[in-house]
Amino acid sequence: MFKEDRPWGHYEVLQDTPKFKVKRIQVEPGKRLSLQSHAKRDELWTVVDGEGVAEVDGLKINLSYGSTIDINKGQKHRMMNIGNKPLVYIEVQTGEYFGEDDIVRYQDDFGRAD
């Protein structure tokens, strides 16, 4: 299992195959990921702990335990933790490529936007 710290929390790669990748993502209270998109993969998010708001192409959707949301290739998206404890969700990536370099960042709280 691979773990990567980020300024908003961390993620762990649970499974990485040629056909799909599964991550456990933890977002700390008050933090959010970059507003980003991917050209080569779709994502399915399932919240397993905490409360968040997913932003997808400008639409904001409240999510809590058991909620799921689909992110399609090319959609601008991000996750925000709106609770007072860590937000944890499982991300299943499907598509043709799963590298971290398939990210276009449009806005980022930590100075990483393209």
Whichever domain contains 73, its CATH number is: 2.60.120.10
- Kindly state whether residue 113 falls inside one of the protein's structural domains: no
0.75 exceeded by the pTM?
Answer: yes
Domain that holds residue 74: 2-106
- Kindly state whether residue 51 falls inside one of the protein's structural domains: yes
| Structural domain total, the chain | 1
- Kindly state whether residue 114 falls inside one of the protein's structural domains: no
- Dump pLDDT digits (tens) for 20-41: 999 999 999 999 999 999 999 9
- Sign of the torsion formed by the C-alpha atoms of 5, 11, 12 and 15: negative
- Kindly state whether residue 16 falls inside one of the protein's structural domains: yes
**What residues contact residue 39 under an 8 Å CB cut-off, 6+ apart?**
73, 74, 102, 104
- Dump pLDDT digits (tens) for 70-90: 999 999 999 999 999 999 999
